[in-house]
Chains A and B, each alone.
Chain A
Amino acid sequence: MADLLFYLMAALATVAGVGVVVARSPVISVVSLLASFGALAVIYLLAGYQFLAAIQILVYGGAVMVLFLFTVMLLNLGDPDVTSGQTEPLFHGSRRSLIGLCTATVMGAAGLVAVLRVAWNEMPSVLAIPEGGLDPLDQLAAQMFTRYSLPFEAASVLLLATAVGVLVIAKRNRPGEKAFPSRAVAAEAAPTAPAAPQPASKPLPEPGPEPEEVLS
């Protein structure tokens, strides 16, 4: 039962991940990414990390993706018009696809290395998960605010910098508009602006190394 669910969710995560790249409309991409995150959360649950699963949905699903969707809609990033029939090829411009290909290869290789390094025979079975899950809050908090406090804070600064960067880049290239956003546009964008530091003020756990620390 658990195995079946795992394969189902893994397939969903993969298909949705491909959907993020292939979809022509940015909104559909965001929704695909959301589906992928949801499937990942279920996999976390199956692996016994309840808190991580909830945070995955709460932070990535509920906050980050909404922000993405918001930005996509407010900036109106070349959403292909369905009615006009005007579509551009998926991979246009050799430089862009080259950069994309390189990034994808590096990420894929990193993921493969990570998977191959896991000692599969030492993994606990689904049935061996303790009642409270493998990530009791107190242990996770102790790790996050002592050993990993610097990476944690650095990640929040990085997220903030990314949010500001996206805004700057997307604003610059809009034709027929002044370099500085007019008052009306600024007022329209106001709700998103304060939302940017959101990840910093919330305890956002890295889905990276802590759980393994808890395990050992």
Chain B
Amino acid sequence: MTDLILLLIKASVIYGGLLGCAALMTLAERKVSAWMQYRIGPNRVGPFGLLQPLADGVKFIFKEDVTPDGANPWMFRLAPLMAAVPAMMTVAVVPFAGDVTLFGYDFGPLSIADLDIGILFVLAIGGLGVYGVILGGWASNSKYSLLGGLRASAQMISYELSLILIVLSIVAMTGSLDLREIVAAQTGTFLGVLPDWNVFQQPVAFVLFVIATFAETNRLPFDFAECEPELVGGFHTEYSSMKFALFFLGEYCAMIVMACLTTVLFLGGAEVPYWADAPWFLQLPAFMVKAGFFCFLFIWVRWTLPRFRFDQLMHLGWKVFLPVALVNLFLTGLLISF
């Protein structure tokens, strides 16, 4: 029974944090874009516009919920859920910090579930997010939505393959699918000075992984799911009110999870550099700084780079990423065996 209560506490803390971060990301997106374009951005609601996400949420709830004529009602309802729920589920296995002791009570490691197949869980459940996009596009009964959905799903399954191959080279190095063990394998130093993080041992894999996460989360420069000038709004053209908000929430949660995953796989997770057994209240900020950087990178790139063309994107995915990831995996295998 105490286990169950402990789990509930952890789950509420982590999910509260995730949703809070997702809300803050929407604000950060607007603020950072404003600064980059020499504007001020939202600053009316709360100090520095900090309560803006709350106002947006209230606005979404009170908007009219429109279902287009001829749309399949069940699929139309299912799609936003399929977009948001998988992205939120994957965060359950991310190890945010080591053992937490608070008020003299040992709460155990700061993650909801410690699965032996953690990384597989993330990839498997995260891969289901594509249904939200494709079903949303189909169920809307609109050609722009359908085209957006098809494009997005083609892109997501293309890059998922490279993503899995890259992860496989990390898994091969560690010899475990457990995210906690992947983090543990990155303690110590590499070449005497650098922390023993996979980013230094697998630089090619790191670069590929970060780019592939952009494609996987449908972010600019790969946001063909939305692609406003061509497709109006892509798969969520016909969505309004909270259904639209759910798509948005799913997108930001997916971004946060991908940032966390990059941190865990390549930057030593919650490890404080050169201090293997740092207490949890230092590990958690270390994790948040690392993951926060990648979250910022998502925004930074979005407001800096122009959009690709769709054939360029497919070319990059199948003719560049896939071979390079395969060669990288092959070389990793060679290095391990000799």
Q: Which residues of A contact B (CB under 8 A)?
A: 25, 27-28, 31, 34, 50-51, 54-55, 57-58, 61-63, 66-67, 69-70, 73-74, 82-83, 131-133, 137, 187, 190-192, 194-195, 198, 201-202
Chain B residues closer than 8 Å to A58, beta-carbon distance? 120, 123-124, 127
Interface centre among A51, A57, A131 (most CB of B within 10 A): A57
Question: Would you mind naming 28 contact pairs between A and B with Cβ atoms under 8 Å apart?
Answer: A27-B72, A28-B72, A31-B135, A50-B115, A50-B116, A54-B117, A54-B120, A55-B120, A57-B125, A57-B128, A61-B127, A62-B127, A63-B127, A66-B157, A69-B135, A69-B153, A70-B150, A70-B157, A82-B70, A82-B72, A131-B116, A132-B116, A187-B311, A191-B154, A191-B314, A194-B318, A195-B154, A198-B157
Chain B residues closer than 8 Å to A69, beta-carbon distance? 131, 134-135, 153
What 7 A-B pairs have minimum CB-CB distances, sorted nearest first? Answer: A62-B127, A191-B154, A58-B124, A57-B124, A54-B120, A83-B70, A54-B124
Question: Is B211 an interface residue, CB under 8 A from the partner?
Answer: no
Question: Is B161 an interface residue, CB under 8 A from the partner?
Answer: yes
Partner of B314, one of A27, A55, A190: A190
Question: Is B25 an interface residue, CB under 8 A from the partner?
Answer: no
A58 to B128 Cα, complex, angstroms: 8
Closest to B121 in A: A54
Question: Is B130 an interface residue, CB under 8 A from the partner?
Answer: yes
Which range contains the number of B residues in contact with the other chain? 35 or more
Chain A residues closer than 8 Å to B138, beta-carbon distance? 27, 73
Closest to B150 in A: A73
Chain B, interface SS category: helix
Chain A residues closer than 8 Å to B156, beta-carbon distance? 66
Question: Is B100 an interface residue, CB under 8 A from the partner?
Answer: no
* Additional A-B contacts beyond A50-B115, A66-B157, A131-B116 (11; CB < 8 A): A25-B72, A27-B72, A27-B138, A31-B75, A31-B131, A31-B135, A62-B160, A82-B70, A192-B154, A198-B157, A201-B161
A54 to B120 Cα, complex, angstroms: 6
Question: Is B286 an interface residue, CB under 8 A from the partner?
Answer: no
A9 to B17 Cα, complex, angstroms: 31
Output the least CB separation between A87 and chain B (Å). 15
A150 to B284 Cα, complex, angstroms: 48
A36 to B161 Cα, complex, angstroms: 24
